[in-house]
Structure 1
Amino acid sequence: MKSIRIAGLVLLAGLLLPVAAFADARREQPSSPPPGIAVASAHELATEAGMKMLREGGNAFDAAVATSAALSVVEPISSGLGGGGFFLLHDAKTGKDVFIDAREIAPAAAKPEEYLLENGEFNRDRAENGPWAAGIPGLPAAFVHLADKYGKLPLQTTLAPAIKLARDGFPVYGRLVRGYTARREVMERYPGTRAVFLAGGAPLEEGDNFRQPDLAQTLELLAAKGFDGFYRGVVADKLLAGVKAEGGRWTAQELAAYRVREREPISFQYRDWRIVTAPPPSSGGVALAQMLQILEGWDLDSLEPAQRVHLVVESMRRAFRDRTFYLGDPDFVKVPMALLTSADYAAGLRATIHPHKATPSDMLSGEPTPLEDDETTHFSVIDADGNRVAATQTVNLLFGSGLIPPGTGVLLNNEMDDFALKPGTPNAFGVMGYDANAPQPGKRMLSSMTPTFMESADRIAVLGTPGGTRIITMVLLGVLGFDDGLDAQPVAALPRYHHQWMPDRIDAETGAFTPEVAKALKAMGHNLELPGDEAAGGRGSSHVWGNMQTLLWNRKANTLSGGSDPRNPVGRAMVELRQGKAAAAIAK
């Protein structure tokens, strides 16, 4: 069938339209501070580490370092010092929002041809496992940057909870055991990884005490020496030696040259909300701006459930199509940001949506023509002055590359798979890319991490989640949930569905749709993948995804509440109030 290339026409038309202005980032700030402090994270020990900093006089940025570092110890399945992350900050005193980009970068040796087999096919094992899968880590540099520029406490204080957890251990939980079982073959290829995860002679079991003395020592050096404690000196030497021993090629110069980037967040208006979110190299903020501004053309509250889902899915489809072709590291490629995030461009995309029929994804192909959920973690912080942090960090897939360079305790990421290593070839999350996201020395791979703030006259929300490409659509559904008037915990628990342009289908959690809604969506022409919902046409196996962590400050009611995803039994949201203040606190 000849492609109609709707999106290409809309993009061309959008160039002729004026770009909508963003809301002023320094608009009037709240006249009174929050009634207390709050942290929500994917592990209660990390939440407690952040709360400890707030109780001891630190601010939200100190709490972010402590929470992030603790997650790096207790959630190696999801993130760690060998990975990277994005930190969205709000300074209550100045009203300024800033985005800290601590994404990993490509080593110079990681050229696309290194990820091909002799027959020219894509070498997926090299892209996902071992030293060639790993980019230069960014998370340790983020700790140093946050402490030096935004925090009140020294790294020796903010890293102390993580050091103690690594040195003394913590109880192993079920998700850690299941993740190791899934990745065991890869993890046990490498002597440094075996020394950590098989230290007792056998794989960890639920309830075991998991100690990581090498990681504790690495954290201690980072606390004592800052940047040089990780990117130069003893730790750097061990990282380089471990990568080289497994056939990889990092250099001391690349490690020492790593720097975080401060970037201007994306901000835009959705109904009564000002949304502040992640810019490239995240794809999430651009997609979120597109989806919400498309949806603003309808009164979603008045629609029948199937009709609402149809329109939300069509907005997802169009945003992910643009993600494939236009987004990459803005230090290396020109991203048409003003156009892609403008209300006029969104209106053009909206006009291509049939209100009662699905748009086949191949009708949105544009140019160039394509060739023929436990991973990552998020936390949210609000302090007593109104400073706030939304942070998402990752090592990519479960346990990243599986490689721990001996003597470091640092589990390296496998973020190189987030590049378009072979144009038009889907990565582990099923999304494709082209030149905009091709690897280059020092370039940051495209990400889906979408830490987000929402601000209205009465309410401020902080939210985010892990989940690969599904992060973007989960945050979208979270924003719509807050707009519907839900509190933090119900938003964290919302059922989830997802569409990413290609493959052309709706994925949904178990129970996300009733049989009636599923039937109506199919009648509109949607392809559905519904594991667990046999009555709705699914395959009969249960599946859920994501790990959302949310906070909500209701300024009108003077309440502060937190939500931690019920899909994750070890997560926790904690709220503590100043004496005499009322709040609705959700704590698991």
Structure 2
Amino acid sequence: MSACLLASLLLIAAPALSKAPVAKAAPAETAKSAAAHPPGTVIASAHALSSQAGLEIVRQGGNAFDAAIAVSSTLSVVEPVSSGIGGGGFFLLHDAKTNRDIFVDARETAPAAATPAAFLDEKGELNRDRSVNGPWSAGIPGLPAALVHLAQKYGKLPLKTSLAPAIRIAREGFPVYARLEKSYGSRREVMERYRGTREVYLADGDPPKVGEIFKQPDLARTLELLGEKGFDGFYRGEVAQKLLASVKEEGGQWKPEELSGYTVREREPLRLKYRGWDIVTAPPPSSGGVAFAEILQILEGWDLSKLDPAHRTHIIAEAMRRAYRDRTIYLGDPDFVKIPLARLTSADYAAGLRATIHPDKATPSDLLSGQPAPLEDDETTHFSIIDHDGNRVSATQTVNLLYGSGLVAPGTGVLLNNEMDDFALRPGTPNAFGVMGFAANAPEAGKRMLSSMTPSFMESKDKVIAVGAPGGSRIITQVLLAVLAYDAGLAPQQVAGQPRIHHQWLPDVISAEAGALDADTVAKLQAMGHKVNAAESPWGNLQTVMWNKQDNTLSGGTDPRNPVGQAVVLPSRP
């Protein structure tokens, strides 16, 4: 069966999407067997300026980790709608020299004042405005600490060198693109509540418009201080004082020690095997890796290529349903709660779940218990990098919803996240992405909120891949479908552009991009008992890179749903 036919079985027909640039390095002439080192560096990110920033640093002698600092910080400048140094992220690293995989957890943490009661109104219902807008919605940022950590422990260049492209772009400006303008329009009422935000986004008297040059001099200065002083340049001193003052001015409560006490955590990644692939992915406090592992192990019981489109979609949706149920009930910050990780990621547990799937009938989500059994995570952005030494990075970072909390701390240019909504602020009440949580993900001082971010690596005998995506609760299923597509033989750009489906237990519905499922498939799924939303707007912004060791080529794919993304290759050692 051809790769293209199998891809069509994956989600039927691809929706009409604009073409995205495809980056590919020519094969090395001497490559006759599996290559020991890539022939250059490949970077895929959600904005051309950030991809180019990464290459700029590689040309100066930096490695993948230095490039990651440049890409991450530049995305913080040019993609404030999705991420920024007022937010957090996860960095999955592979250090080629030691052959070690490392998961860097830079997730935001809860301030002590942000108790569940602080987010309830006078009737005891969730105060949605407080949970997603302004100072109460913001956790203590983790991304600046991650950039410092990467430079100190894994990079080759000084932090200020790797931050230089982002500082220059923040100071000189960049052209506003359609997504920034449109997303500002959707959040305008909130954005313009706050003095600091108005000073940045209404600097010329009106909101950003496509084609205008958007400058952020305060953010440039904040990044300079981070480069010069490291951790203290953000979490102590003048920037920290301005952040604390802004939160207090708008009615929130942060303590100085909550900023100065922030720490990056290094965690052991999750590992699994799927049909000849070794997969490395995100552990808790990401829910992504656990759910992702659970789904793949359930699916191993079927040869998906031999199923008709309706039954293939049915089986995938049922596996998703069960994993998202477990995500809701069991997962949280492993520093605060006991997670049955071995159980949830075991082949035996997956086999048990597989046995509950009827081959021709949907399982209503309300028949899957919402209570824990006894014990025995288009916002956000992603980038992927492989360098000439074989180091690699798969990183997902976020401020949560569009433009985060909407609050920019005056004098800093820092747009604060609204990640507190990723906690179970009121157990059993869905968050902004429609996913629920219970006690395991309730806020506590210093606790990290559950995330769906799923930066991942895949490796077979002849291919090395980094992949990830934004998209809230739909991140996990995007990465899952990418793995299935790579396993079917698709190239990175095909993987990034394939149509998507999603199921997350509650609400009990298969979501599908317009054109992803044809009318006959939808009818068959409905006859099985599924509810299907078959014409949703496209979602996600997947970024992926691949090193083919057999012919020693590099290639990248950037999501065609995002016209400003770019995959780029530096085809030889600098």
| Matched residue type, 2:437 | G
Q: How far apart, CA to CA, are the structure 1 residues paired with 2:417 and 2:54?
A: 24
Aligned residue number for residue 298 of structure 2: 294
| Matched residue type, 1:549 | Q
Aligned residue number for residue 6 of structure 2: none
Secondary structure (helix, strand or coil) at the match of 1:67 reads helix
Aligned residue number for residue 358 of structure 1: 362
Aligned residue number for residue 219 of structure 1: 223
Across the aligned residues of Structure 1 and Structure 2, the Cα RMSD in angstroms comes to 1.1
Secondary structure (helix, strand or coil) at the match of 1:39 reads strand
User: In the alignment, is residue 61 of structure 1 matched against residue 65 of structure 2?
Assistant: yes
Secondary structure (helix, strand or coil) at the match of 2:44 reads strand
Aligned residue number for residue 323 of structure 1: 327
Q: How far apart, CA to CA, are the structure 1 residues paired with 2:524 and 2:546?
A: 34
User: In the alignment, is residue 560 of structure 1 matched against residue 564 of structure 2?
Assistant: no
Aligned partner of 1:50 among 54, 65, 69: 54
Secondary structure (helix, strand or coil) at the match of 1:469 reads helix
1:477-498 Cα distance to aligned partner (Å, 9 max, x none): 0000000000000000010110
What pairs up with 1:107-146 in 2 under 5 angstroms? 107-146=111-150
Q: CA deviation at 1:31?
A: 5.8
Aligned partner of 1:545 among 522, 539, 543: 539
Structure 1, 559-568 or 360-369: larger mean CA deviation: 360-369
Secondary structure (helix, strand or coil) at the match of 2:535 reads coil
- Asked if the contact 2:330–2:372 (Cα under 8 Å) also holds between the matched residues in 1, the reply is no
Q: CA deviation at 1:156?
A: 1.0
Q: CA deviation at 1:578?
A: 2.4
| Matched residue type, 1:200 | D
Secondary structure (helix, strand or coil) at the match of 1:247 reads coil
Aligned residue number for residue 506 of structure 1: 510
Percent identity at matched positions? 69
- Asked if the contact 2:35–2:549 (Cα under 8 Å) also holds between the matched residues in 1, the reply is no
Aligned residue number for residue 86 of structure 2: 82
User: In the alignment, is residue 575 of structure 1 matched against residue 569 of structure 2?
Assistant: yes
Aligned residue number for residue 316 of structure 2: 312
Aligned residue number for residue 259 of structure 2: 255
1:98-157 Cα distance to aligned partner (Å, 9 max, x none): 000000000000010000111111100000000000000000000000000000000110
Aligned partner of 2:470 among 450, 463, 466: 466
Aligned partner of 1:517 among 514, 518, 521: 521
Secondary structure (helix, strand or coil) at the match of 2:472 reads coil
Aligned residue number for residue 72 of structure 1: 76
Aligned partner of 2:489 among 481, 485, 499: 485
Q: How far apart, CA to CA, are the structure 2 residues paired with 1:221 and 1:231?
A: 11
Aligned residue number for residue 247 of structure 2: 243
- Asked if the contact 2:89–2:395 (Cα under 8 Å) also holds between the matched residues in 1, the reply is yes
Q: How far apart, CA to CA, are the structure 1 residues paired with 2:519 and 2:73?
A: 43
1:317-359 Cα distance to aligned partner (Å, 9 max, x none): 0000000000000000001111100111111110100111111
Q: CA deviation at 1:368?
A: 4.7
Q: How far apart, CA to CA, are the structure 1 residues paired with 2:57 and 2:309?
A: 43
| Matched residue type, 2:273 | Q
User: In the alignment, is residue 430 of structure 1 matched against residue 437 of structure 2?
Assistant: no
Q: How far apart, CA to CA, are the structure 1 residues paired with 2:224 and 2:370?
A: 51
| Matched residue type, 1:565 | D
The gaps in structure 1 that reach 5 residues or longer are 1-29, 533-542, 580-588
| Matched residue type, 2:567 | A
1:439-471 Cα distance to aligned partner (Å, 9 max, x none): 000000000000000000011111001000000
Q: CA deviation at 1:556?
A: 1.0
Q: CA deviation at 1:531?
A: 2.6
Q: How far apart, CA to CA, are the structure 2 residues paired with 1:171 and 1:374?
A: 20
1:206-250 Cα distance to aligned partner (Å, 9 max, x none): 000000000000000000000000000000000000000000000
Q: How far apart, CA to CA, are the structure 1 residues paired with 2:293 and 2:532?
A: 25
Structure 1, 37-46 or 50-59: larger mean CA deviation: 50-59
Aligned partner of 2:201 among 184, 197, 212: 197
User: In the alignment, is residue 454 of structure 1 matched against residue 448 of structure 2?
Assistant: no
Q: CA deviation at 1:273?
A: 0.3
Q: How far apart, CA to CA, are the structure 1 residues paired with 2:105 and 2:291?
A: 18
- Asked if the contact 2:43–2:385 (Cα under 8 Å) also holds between the matched residues in 1, the reply is yes
1:246-294 Cα distance to aligned partner (Å, 9 max, x none): 0000010100000000000000111100110000000000001000000
| Matched residue type, 1:90 | H
| Matched residue type, 2:260 | A
TM-score normalised according to structure 1 size:
0.90
Aligned residue number for residue 420 of structure 2: 416
Q: CA deviation at 1:522?
A: 0.8
Q: How far apart, CA to CA, are the structure 2 residues paired with 1:337 and 1:168?
A: 47
Q: CA deviation at 1:55?
A: 1.6
- Asked if the contact 2:35–2:550 (Cα under 8 Å) also holds between the matched residues in 1, the reply is no
Q: How far apart, CA to CA, are the structure 1 residues paired with 2:324 and 2:243?
A: 36
- Asked if the contact 2:35–2:551 (Cα under 8 Å) also holds between the matched residues in 1, the reply is no
Q: How far apart, CA to CA, are the structure 2 residues paired with 1:173 and 1:365?
A: 45
Structure 1, 84-93 or 47-56: larger mean CA deviation: 47-56
Secondary structure (helix, strand or coil) at the match of 1:432 reads coil
| Matched residue type, 2:279 | I
Aligned residue number for residue 539 of structure 1: none
Q: How far apart, CA to CA, are the structure 2 residues paired with 1:493 and 1:64?
A: 23
Q: CA deviation at 1:523?
A: 1.1
Q: CA deviation at 1:530?
A: 2.1
1:504-551 Cα distance to aligned partner (Å, 9 max, x none): 00111111111111111111111011236xxxxxxxxxx100000010
Q: CA deviation at 1:433?
A: 0.4
Q: How far apart, CA to CA, are the structure 2 residues paired with 1:333 and 1:340?
A: 15
Secondary structure (helix, strand or coil) at the match of 2:464 reads strand
Q: How far apart, CA to CA, are the structure 2 residues paired with 1:350 and 1:401?
A: 40
The gaps in structure 2 that reach 5 residues or longer are 1-33
Secondary structure (helix, strand or coil) at the match of 1:531 reads strand
| Matched residue type, 1:569 | P
